[in-house]
Amino acid sequence: MVSTMVDATTPETPADLPPPAFGEDSEAMVRCTRCELRYQPTKSTSALRLTYCSFLCELGDLGFSITGLEHMERSSSELEPHTSEEEQQGEPAAVE
Protein backbone atom coordinates (compact mmCIF):
# COMPACT_ATOMS: atom_id res chain seq x y z
CA MET A 1 0.00 0.00 0.00
CA VAL A 2 1.30 3.48 -0.92
CA SER A 3 1.30 6.16 1.76
CA THR A 4 -0.46 9.42 0.86
CA MET A 5 1.26 11.41 3.59
CA VAL A 6 3.27 14.40 2.40
CA ASP A 7 6.79 15.07 3.63
CA ALA A 8 6.70 18.14 5.91
CA THR A 9 10.18 19.36 4.93
CA THR A 10 10.51 22.69 3.20
CA PRO A 11 11.26 22.64 -0.54
CA GLU A 12 14.81 23.42 -1.58
CA THR A 13 14.11 25.31 -4.84
CA PRO A 14 11.15 27.19 -6.32
CA ALA A 15 10.71 24.34 -8.81
CA ASP A 16 9.90 22.06 -5.86
CA LEU A 17 7.02 24.30 -4.74
CA PRO A 18 3.46 23.17 -5.53
CA PRO A 19 1.56 25.20 -8.16
CA PRO A 20 -0.20 28.32 -6.82
CA ALA A 21 -3.80 27.97 -5.64
CA PHE A 22 -4.97 30.39 -8.35
CA GLY A 23 -3.47 28.32 -11.14
CA GLU A 24 -0.20 28.33 -12.94
CA ASP A 25 -0.83 31.72 -14.54
CA SER A 26 -1.37 33.53 -11.21
CA GLU A 27 1.97 35.27 -11.67
CA ALA A 28 0.28 37.29 -14.44
CA MET A 29 -2.47 38.37 -12.06
CA VAL A 30 -2.30 41.90 -10.71
CA ARG A 31 -3.64 43.41 -7.49
CA CYS A 32 -6.53 45.87 -7.43
CA THR A 33 -5.50 49.29 -6.14
CA ARG A 34 -8.65 49.64 -4.01
CA CYS A 35 -9.45 46.19 -2.60
CA GLU A 36 -6.01 44.52 -2.94
CA LEU A 37 -7.52 41.36 -4.51
CA ARG A 38 -5.72 39.53 -7.30
CA TYR A 39 -7.49 39.55 -10.64
CA GLN A 40 -6.88 38.97 -14.33
CA PRO A 41 -6.95 42.27 -16.24
CA THR A 42 -8.78 40.63 -19.15
CA LYS A 43 -11.73 39.82 -16.83
CA SER A 44 -11.96 43.30 -15.26
CA THR A 45 -15.17 45.32 -15.82
CA SER A 46 -13.32 48.59 -15.21
CA ALA A 47 -12.21 50.94 -17.97
CA LEU A 48 -8.87 51.10 -16.13
CA ARG A 49 -8.25 47.35 -16.32
CA LEU A 50 -4.68 47.39 -15.01
CA THR A 51 -5.66 49.42 -11.93
CA TYR A 52 -9.08 48.17 -10.75
CA CYS A 53 -10.65 44.72 -10.67
CA SER A 54 -14.18 45.98 -11.28
CA PHE A 55 -16.33 48.96 -12.17
CA LEU A 56 -17.32 49.28 -8.50
CA CYS A 57 -13.72 49.63 -7.30
CA GLU A 58 -13.10 52.27 -9.97
CA LEU A 59 -16.23 54.19 -9.00
CA GLY A 60 -15.50 53.89 -5.28
CA ASP A 61 -11.89 55.03 -5.57
CA LEU A 62 -12.30 57.86 -8.09
CA GLY A 63 -15.86 58.95 -7.31
CA PHE A 64 -16.75 58.66 -11.01
CA SER A 65 -16.20 56.21 -13.83
CA ILE A 66 -14.03 56.85 -16.85
CA THR A 67 -16.78 55.49 -19.12
CA GLY A 68 -19.28 57.94 -17.63
CA LEU A 69 -16.79 60.75 -18.09
CA GLU A 70 -16.32 59.82 -21.76
CA HIS A 71 -20.09 59.89 -22.40
CA MET A 72 -20.72 63.13 -20.52
CA GLU A 73 -22.18 65.91 -22.66
CA ARG A 74 -21.91 69.61 -22.11
CA SER A 75 -25.06 71.32 -20.92
CA SER A 76 -26.94 73.00 -23.77
CA SER A 77 -28.45 75.79 -21.64
CA GLU A 78 -26.95 79.17 -22.46
CA LEU A 79 -25.94 81.56 -19.74
CA GLU A 80 -28.27 84.52 -19.42
CA PRO A 81 -26.64 87.94 -19.27
CA HIS A 82 -26.61 89.41 -15.79
CA THR A 83 -29.09 92.28 -15.34
CA SER A 84 -29.48 94.55 -12.36
CA GLU A 85 -32.75 94.86 -10.41
CA GLU A 86 -33.46 98.32 -11.86
CA GLU A 87 -33.30 96.98 -15.41
CA GLN A 88 -35.60 94.08 -14.55
CA GLN A 89 -38.33 96.32 -13.06
CA GLY A 90 -38.45 98.76 -15.96
CA GLU A 91 -39.42 102.43 -15.35
CA PRO A 92 -40.26 103.60 -11.85
CA ALA A 93 -43.93 104.11 -11.07
CA ALA A 94 -45.19 107.69 -11.28
CA VAL A 95 -46.14 109.28 -7.97
CA GLU A 96 -48.82 111.99 -7.90
- Give the chain's domain count: 1
Residue 44 lies in a domain: yes
Residue 42 lies in a domain: yes
Residue 80 lies in a domain: no
In terms of pLDDT, which residue wins out, 41 or 19? 41
Q: Check: CB of residue 37 under 8 Å from CB of residue 31.
A: yes
Residue 10 lies in a domain: no
Closest CA to 47 of 29, 28, 65: 65
> Which residues constitute the domain of residue 42?
23-70
pLDDT of residue 76: 73
Residue 34 lies in a domain: yes
In terms of pLDDT, which residue wins out, 1 or 55? 55
pLDDT of residue 79: 61
pLDDT of residue 28: 73
* DSSP-based three-state secondary structure for 36: coil
Count of CB atoms within 10 A of residue 51's CB? 19
Compute the distance between CA of residue 1 and CA of residue 47 in angstroms, rounded to an integer.
Answer: 55
Residue 28 lies in a domain: yes
**Is residue 30 within a helix (H) or strand (E), and if so which, with residue range?**
strand 30-31
